[in-house]
Structure 1
Amino acid sequence: MANLIADSIVASCPIKSPADKFFKFFRYSMNEIVKIFPAAFTGVQLLEGEEGTVGCIKRWNYIVGGIPLTATVKIEAIDEAAKSITFAVLEGDLLLLYKSFQATLTVSEGLAKWTFVFEKATLLTPPPELYIPLAVTLCTLVDAFLLLN
């Protein structure tokens, strides 16, 4: 079988809340997503490490395209200066379609950007395009929440 190379897709969303506040929410308060966006995120459990630190591992229960899924996700990198966090999927439903899957959130004034880097399990595996509206809706709801709180 041929080696498949990693590919990526990007989801961008305008934000009105301060970039630093938005970044800190995703670093330290991500569990709140279950309350902010319960239609898509149904549960989260800290498995290992400390909230907001590299090496922190969580199991997420979520819904994409009407299908309930799980993912065990590790914070792989945090760049405070660039306001970016990289998450790697360690196990779960995504890895049935992709050999590897990473998501990086980068926040700047007025913009939140998710970059999904993935390696397809087969040539026929579709790109994870369903994650684009999920990411945009998530950022929109978190932004609204941060503007009110």
Structure 2
Amino acid sequence: MGLKGKLTAQIEMKAGGDLFHELVRYEPQQIPNISPTTIQGCDLHEGDWGNVGSVYFWKYTLDGKQGVAKDVIESIDEEKKSMTFKVIEGDLMKLYKAFKVGFHVDTHGGIDLVTWTLEYEKLNDDVEEPLSMLGFCIKLAKDVEAHHLKAT
């Protein structure tokens, strides 16, 4: 079994992928208000909101357990409406040597799709694939969608 892996999931975003991208890029500190069972906090530690190189500190709940993560925005592509975060500290680093979370927004036939990608390197073969983290990302997107649909 390999230590490196990549998981991908795609979800339709009825509220509009642009809204999702703009929220995560420019106002991630609002996410705890939108998805409080998933994310309980997002603080800026270095840089400016929504800029490459900025460092965020997240408080979250995964599989019923409280967790924290510090990550750096590794890349942003406005044209593709994509962002990649590299986890540099926190609970995930107890299991993974490297962990990246990215998303991008595509439009196909008038339907916006958010695609999540997790890239990781496990510390050893005993570490499970991060399927629950992929489910966490899907739930976050659904919560953002429900919030925006309710607000319109």
Shared fold, TM over 0.5: yes
Aligned to 2:135: 133
| Cα separation, 2, equivalents of 1:134 and 1:59 | 17
| Cα separation, 1, equivalents of 2:21 and 2:32 | 17
TM-score (structure 1 length as normaliser): 0.92
| Cα separation, 2, equivalents of 1:59 and 1:83 | 22
After superposition, the C-alpha distances for 1:89-110 in whole angstroms (9 at most, x for unaligned) are: 0100101100000011111232
Identity value in percent: 34
User: Contact 2:3/2:125 (CA < 8 Å) preserved in 1?
Assistant: no
Displacement of 1:40 in angstroms is 1.8
2:119 aligned partner, one-letter code: V
Displacement of 1:11 in angstroms is 2.2
Paired residue for 1:72, among 50, 70, 75?
Answer: 70
Aligned to 1:45: 43
User: Contact 1:22/1:146 (CA < 8 Å) preserved in 2?
Assistant: no
| Cα separation, 2, equivalents of 1:23 and 1:60 | 18
Gaps (5+ residues) in structure 2? none
Alignment partner of 1:11 is 2:19:
no
User: Contact 2:85/2:102 (CA < 8 Å) preserved in 1?
Assistant: yes
Query: 4+ runs of 1 displaced by more than 3 Å?
Result: none
Q: 1:77-96 maps to which residues of 2 (within 5 A)?
A: 77-96=75-94
Gaps (5+ residues) in structure 1? none
Aligned to 1:145: 147
1:104 aligned partner, one-letter code: G
2:39 aligned partner, one-letter code: F
Paired residue for 2:20, among 19, 22, 27?
Answer: 22
| Cα separation, 2, equivalents of 1:66 and 1:100 | 23
User: Contact 1:89/1:101 (CA < 8 Å) preserved in 2?
Assistant: yes
| Cα separation, 1, equivalents of 2:136 and 2:116 | 11
Aligned residues: CA RMSD: 1.3
